[in-house]
Structure 1
Amino acid sequence: MREIDLKGKKALVTGGSQGIGSEICRELARCGADVLINYYSNKEKAEILAEEIKKEHKVKAVVAGANVADSAQVKDMFLLLDKELGGIDILVNNAGTETVEHVLDLEEDAWDKVMNINLKGPWLCSREAGRRMQGKGGVIINISSIHDVVPRKGLIHYCSAKAGLKMFSKCLSLELAEDNVRVVSIAPGAIETEMNREEINKFGRHKFEEWIPQGRVGVVQDVAPSVAFFASDLASYATGTDVYLDGSYMNHTIQYDPRPQK
């Protein structure tokens, strides 16, 4: 089996200091890529991760604080990328946020924040990356969610933003194909991170284990290798593609089982 080889590649991962993002940074570095780790508020976690990556994988790892929904901060982040890594081959739009609120109580500021980070941010970052990828190619991977097609109570703004990201990915793949830039949307299901572990346990881990056909909640290691694969030349014909990583969770809405009992 051919190994995923990203040696010499330069990657930027937004929201890379923790959760799925941090594991994506580790996996890209494991495959040989230099990595810029974007963070918004937790500089310490980003710096610890960068030192870990440099020590374990002998690649470059730098950090950049930026709100991905702010065009000026995004431009400054990419200028730092140019200086520290010398370009970009892989962009992973991973930064995201959500709140849980009844639609009738949802405030405009909360709507705007979720839309801006989950949808405007990928556009701003993809625009900067795409300009740098023109003439040489590259890969843009957008981390979406099964809720880009599966509605959920309390998350109308989040689901709407992720649905927009799904179509954004498809449109972007058409526009950038002529520049040999591939675009892939990767949509995880229920993935346990340090941020949601307490919530999963409080709600009832056994409930998820019953609902998810594979019988378990996903972990960040279920997502990161797929990102590395689609970022590599092994996936050179994959663009405009939606990939769902959910243990078949989203296919299990009908849980009544009429099969004869053995």
Structure 2
Amino acid sequence: MNRIDLKGKRALVTGGSQGIGAEICRHLAACGASVFINYNRNEEKARSLAKELEQRHGVKMAYGGANVANAKAVKALFAQMDKEIGGIDILVNNAGSESVSHVLEMAEAEWDRVLDINLKGPFLCSQEAGKRMEKDGGGVIINISSIHDVVPRLGLIHYCSAKAGLKMFSKCLSLELADKNVRVVSIAPGAIETDMNRDEIAKFGKDKFEDWIPQGRIGNVADVAQTVAFMASDMADYINGTDIYIDGAYMNSTIPYDPRPARGDQGE
């Protein structure tokens, strides 16, 4: 089996200092890519991760803070990235945010905040990356979405709407940039356990989640990161404008049917 080779590639991962984003950085670096880690608030986590991966894999690592929903901050981030790692071949729009609120009680500011981070951020970053990739002969843009780009969820109308928008944004972007040799894909995780939600999952009941998921387990951050690394590589060169769901068939099992007999127990 061929190993994913990203040597010589330069990647930017937004929201890359923790959770799924940090694992994406780890996998890209392990495959030989230079990685620029974007963070919003936690500089120390970004610094520590950059140092760890540079020492472990011998690749160029850098980091920079920016709110991806702010156009001026995004331009400054890309300018810093140009200086630190010399450009971009892979953009992973991973930064995201959610909150829980009933639609009739949701503040306008919270609607705007969640839409801005989850949808406007990828737009701004993709613009900057696309301009550079066009000049350099191509690249890959990977948008981290969610199964909730098609599966509705109570209390998350703003988040689900943003992810649904990101799904169509990815498809339109793939058409706009295909002639520039820039591929665009959307990767949509289901239930994924991270350091940030592990205690919450345990409190709710991990066994409940695993009963709901046909594959019998909650996903982990490596499930997502491995897919990102593959999609960023030349092995996925003809995959463009598509959505990839990483959920153990979770979204295909929304109706709890009555128990079925095991194979061989149906009788005559």
Correspondence 1:251 to 2:255: no
Deviation at 1:195, TM superposition (A): 1.2
Show the 5 A alignment for 1:30-179.
Answer: 30-135=30-135, 136-179=137-180
Aligned to 2:235: 234
> What is the root-mean-square deviation of aligned Cα atoms in Å?
0.8
CA deviation map 1:78-114 (0-9, x unaligned): 0011111111000000000000111111101110000
Structure 1: runs of 5+ lacking an equivalent: none
d(CA) in 2 for partners of 1:57, 1:260: 50
Show the 5 A alignment for 1:161-240.
Answer: 161-240=162-241
3-state SS of 2:261 partner: coil
d(CA) in 1 for partners of 2:181, 2:258: 46
CA deviation map 1:201-254 (0-9, x unaligned): 111111101001111111101110100000000000001010000010000012
d(CA) in 1 for partners of 2:181, 2:34: 21
d(CA) in 2 for partners of 1:159, 1:32: 34
Deviation at 1:148, TM superposition (A): 0.1
d(CA) in 1 for partners of 2:228, 2:219: 15
Percent of residue pairs identical: 71
d(CA) in 1 for partners of 2:92, 2:237: 16
CA deviation map 1:32-70 (0-9, x unaligned): 000000000000000000000001000011011000000
d(CA) in 2 for partners of 1:224, 1:88: 18
d(CA) in 1 for partners of 2:260, 2:49: 49
3-state SS of 2:238 partner: coil
Deviates more, 1:196-205 or 1:182-191: 196-205
**Structure 2-normalised TM-score?**
0.96
3-state SS of 1:7 partner: coil
Deviation at 1:256, TM superposition (A): 0.8
3-state SS of 1:3 partner: coil
1:232 is matched by which residue type in structure 2? S
Aligned to 2:17: 17
Deviates more, 1:61-70 or 1:250-259: 250-259
Which aligned runs of 4 or more in structure 1 are off by greater than 6 angstroms?
none
Larger radius of gyration between Structure 1 and Structure 2: 2
Deviation at 1:257, TM superposition (A): 4.1
Deviation at 1:260, TM superposition (A): 3.3
2:147 is matched by which residue type in structure 1? I
Deviation at 1:258, TM superposition (A): 5.5
Q: How many residues align?
A: 262
d(CA) in 2 for partners of 1:57, 1:258: 49
d(CA) in 2 for partners of 1:198, 1:162: 25
1:65 is matched by which residue type in structure 2? G
**Structure 1-normalised TM-score?**
0.99
d(CA) in 2 for partners of 1:95, 1:258: 40
